[in-house]
Chains A and B, each alone.
Chain A
Amino acid sequence: MVVLEVLHRTLRAVRIYGRLKRALRGGLIGLAFGLGVTFALKLFSGTVYWELLSLGSLGALVGVALPWRPARLYLWAGRRLAVGEGLLAAWELLRRGEPVLLHKLWEKLAPSLEPPWKLLILQRSEAILLGGILIFSLSLQFAPLLFPEHLTSSAPPTRTVATPDVDRISERKGESASAVGPEPIRPEEWRGEKVPGKWPERETLPSDFSPKGSSSFTPSPAEPSLGDDTGAELPSSSPGEAPAETREGIAELPTQSPFPAAMVPTPQKKGEALLREVEEKGEGEAEGQPTSETQIYRRGDENLPSSPEAPEAVPFPEAQRAGSPGTEELGGRAEGEPPASEGEGIPDQVEPSRKTQAQMRPGEGPARTGTVLSIPPEPSGDEGSPYIPPLGSTGIFLEGRDLPAGAEEIVRRYFSILSQQEAK
């Protein structure tokens, strides 16, 4: 009787743990299926439906509810519990009512029978399935890293660089900056002109000002980088003639110039450099250009016409340049002496300060941003068709010019006449 009781108890435990194992296996399979569907949907639609993981619980329920033939259950359990077909034979003998054989059989099985809870131990296939589920889960978790949006997006990434210059000036000036407003430091030629009342918050960084373009020199560790210091954007103004508020702002700036002193052209040296450049281009080329009215600003390999009002690069005041680390890094050269090597020459990246007013002209892409916009030059005879802006966009060129009221209307009419002639 004791044997029968023990056998009944063992068979009951086997049934319970067998059900639990089927629930576990069903849950794993359901979870794997849900993850597979989730992953597929993520691949095709980009959306992760985590709700599909509830298929795991559904699989567990199915695993519990599915009918299981007792003979199959005990055969499987007997093999897992190290008694082979013995457990199944015991159940069969119990069912047929063979107590003698059952007693003899149980005497042989009991010493080697493992506890029924070991049925819950994962087998190799189940462990592999569980590992696959974990890998799938991790891959879904980190799917944004694996599939970044810019790889799938059709629009090219736009590169915008904040202009920390004005912001930092405003921050450093505090209330005085806000009272004066973000008036830029302007060259002397622009004195009296009214700058736009609102600075653009962001503008595209000119390619010449990119770190790549300025790689010809290496600033010292003490020097701020190009993008970090407002001094990089303010070399073309004369601080001695700037408004008082601006001078205060500049006085609070770091005394170190981002450029070595020799790299900041003086007006005289700049003019000489431009003159040599124009002379090198030859007479034929120079004759076709209104040299008296147009200055050639060399910006890399691109020659851009500019209006006569375009400012020249103005160096920092002597007080700012004195004792700057950039001067110490000249390697023994005298201040203002032209650099010996090409990499130390006048940086082509130096740009007129009016670039902060740059606006995109119609028909131009972001590649032309950073160029100096101004009133286009007069057509000079047979030089081809000049650029005539659309009539509706004339205001762009007049904006911020602070022209007298009558003059603005005259300019508008001027462009209107030009447009009508072009249309004819």
Chain B
Amino acid sequence: MITEEELTLAQEAFAALREAIAEVIVGQERVVEIALWTLLSGGHLLVEGVPGLGKTLLVRTLARALGLSFSRIQFTPDLMPADILGTNVFAEDSGSFRFVPGPIFANVVLADEVNRATPKTQAALLEAMQERQVTVGGETHVLEEPFVVLATQNPIEMEGTYPLPEAQVDRFLFKAEVSFPDEEELVEIVRRNTAGGGIALPDPVMGAREVLLARKVVGAYPVPEPLLEYAARLVLVTHPHHPSAPAEVKKYVQYGASPRGALALVFGAKARAFLAGRYHVALDDIRDVMEPALIHRLILNFRAEAEGITVREILEEVKRSVPPP
């Protein structure tokens, strides 16, 4: 049971956070929104976009405004798991091995161009993301909450990259695609960055306590049973072998969304309702969250690639095929 003070504090903190981010990031409201859903849901975010769109700036701004510890890992092909997780170092003074934590030990981790690391290193990161703990030398180290990984990947320049396996992509709660800014936004970006003195990051407006409090409030939001059933149906019909799957799914989808997709739908719907200032989850919350929650969980077949079918089109068809409760 939450109290009125907790509810008010959480609402005020996230309102301030949104204002702080808006002072730095021009446009990209949708990406910021999805990032906040991720933060409130306790998941991780995969951000995809071409270089220069402000992905790294967004993550840095978020971490700074949150007042949380922040670390950035630039993924390269020669990056080793120990470079991320940490390693045991022999200490001459004590004559024993001492664990030196890696950059994964932070509240907000930016895994930049995560698809450039080898699968071994990717697997080490993704295991830490899922388990929220790191085991090195037989010793387990728990990651501090809140723990959020914001990974970016570049959809172009795929040469020399290691695309993330589907099982590992599934561990990201949402996927946000950073779009190119329009003219007005681009003018504002240029004006802010050329004014001299560089980009001023915001001051912290909240801390880890407020983040965890907000997660508690969002978790108390009711999701009625008909909406849960609707979210489950949305996920089920993405499977081509499901009897209710639409024709496009049966034709173009190789693998459907996992149960994590349903969790993402409900978590995101709650977070969206909270950020919208409502106290209950609506059907529109689920429908709006559907794309960032499922877009990286569907695997299309070769026929879809040959015909230029995108996952977004499939999701729209899924949304049309499932009647609302």
Asked if A212 is at the interface of the complex by the 8 Å CB criterion, the answer is: no
Q: A98-B2, A98-B220, A101-B2 are in contact. Are A84 and B282 (CB under 8 A)?
A: yes
Residue of A with least CB distance to B285:
A85
Which of B227, B280, B325 has the most CB atoms of chain A within a 10 A radius of its CB? B280
Q: How far is the CA of A92 from the CA of B225 in the complex (A)?
A: 9
Asked if A278 is at the interface of the complex by the 8 Å CB criterion, the answer is: no
Asked if A232 is at the interface of the complex by the 8 Å CB criterion, the answer is: no
Q: Is the CB of B1 within 8 A of A92?
A: no
Instruction: Give residues 82-102 of A contacting B (CB, 8 Å).
Output: 84-86, 88-93, 96-101
Q: Is the CB of B2 within 8 A of A75?
A: no
Q: A89-B279, A105-B279 are in contact. Are A100 and B226 (CB under 8 A)?
A: no
Asked if A191 is at the interface of the complex by the 8 Å CB criterion, the answer is: no
Q: Is the CB of A101 within 8 A of B221?
A: yes
Q: Is the CB of B1 within 8 A of A71?
A: no
B222 cross-chain contacts in A, Cβ below 8 A: 89, 92-93, 96, 98, 101
Q: Is the CB of A100 within 8 A of B2?
A: yes
Residue of B with least CB distance to A91:
B224
Q: Is the interface of A mostly helix, strand, loop or mixed?
A: helix
Asked if A202 is at the interface of the complex by the 8 Å CB criterion, the answer is: no
Q: Is the CB of A75 within 8 A of B226?
A: yes
Asked if A368 is at the interface of the complex by the 8 Å CB criterion, the answer is: no
1/0 contact string of B260-285 vs chain A (CB within 8 Å)? 00000000000000000011111100
Residue of B with least CB distance to A88:
B224
Asked if A72 is at the interface of the complex by the 8 Å CB criterion, the answer is: yes
Q: Is the interface of B mostly helix, strand, loop or mixed?
A: loop
Residue of B with least CB distance to A107:
B279
Asked if A269 is at the interface of the complex by the 8 Å CB criterion, the answer is: no
Asked if A361 is at the interface of the complex by the 8 Å CB criterion, the answer is: no
Q: How far is the CA of A105 from the CA of B282 in the complex (A)?
A: 13
Asked if B7 is at the interface of the complex by the 8 Å CB criterion, the answer is: yes
Asked if A8 is at the interface of the complex by the 8 Å CB criterion, the answer is: no
Q: How far is the CA of A55 from the CA of B225 in the complex (A)?
A: 34
Asked if B307 is at the interface of the complex by the 8 Å CB criterion, the answer is: no
Q: How far is the CA of A98 from the CA of B217 in the complex (A)?
A: 11
Q: How far is the CA of A389 from the CA of B2 in the complex (A)?
A: 114
Q: A85-B283, A105-B280, A108-B278 are in contact. Are A92 and B224 (CB under 8 A)?
A: yes
Q: How far is the CA of A182 from the CA of B118 in the complex (A)?
A: 126
Asked if A104 is at the interface of the complex by the 8 Å CB criterion, the answer is: yes
Residue of B with least CB distance to A74:
B224
1/0 contact string of B15-51 vs chain A (CB within 8 Å)? 0000000000000000000000000000000000000
Residue of A with least CB distance to B283:
A85
The one of B1, B2, B282 that contacts A85, using a Cβ cutoff of 8 Å: B282
Nearest chain B CB to A97 CB, angstrom units: 7
B223 cross-chain contacts in A, Cβ below 8 A: 92
Q: Is the CB of B3 within 8 A of A85?
A: no
A101 cross-chain contacts in B, Cβ below 8 A: 2, 7, 220-222, 279
Which of B2, B222, B227 has the most CB atoms of chain A within a 10 A radius of its CB? B222
The one of A75, A96, A104 that contacts B279, using a Cβ cutoff of 8 Å: A104
Q: A71-B225, A93-B222, A97-B1 are in contact. Are A86 and B280 (CB under 8 A)?
A: yes
Asked if B183 is at the interface of the complex by the 8 Å CB criterion, the answer is: no
Q: Is the CB of A72 within 8 A of B226?
A: yes
A108 cross-chain contacts in B, Cβ below 8 A: 278-279
Nearest chain A CB to B10 CB, angstrom units: 12
Q: Apart from A72-B325, A96-B222, A105-B280, list 19 A-B contacts with CB within 8 A.
A: A69-B225, A71-B225, A75-B226, A84-B283, A85-B281, A85-B283, A86-B280, A88-B224, A88-B226, A89-B224, A91-B224, A92-B280, A93-B280, A98-B1, A98-B220, A100-B3, A101-B279, A105-B279, A108-B279
A-B contact pairs, 20 of them (CB 8 A): A71-B224, A71-B226, A75-B226, A75-B325, A85-B227, A85-B280, A85-B281, A85-B283, A88-B224, A88-B226, A89-B222, A91-B224, A92-B224, A93-B222, A98-B222, A100-B2, A101-B222, A101-B279, A104-B7, A108-B279
Chain A positions near chain B (C-beta within 8 angstroms): 69, 71-72, 74-75, 84-86, 88-93, 96-101, 104-105, 108
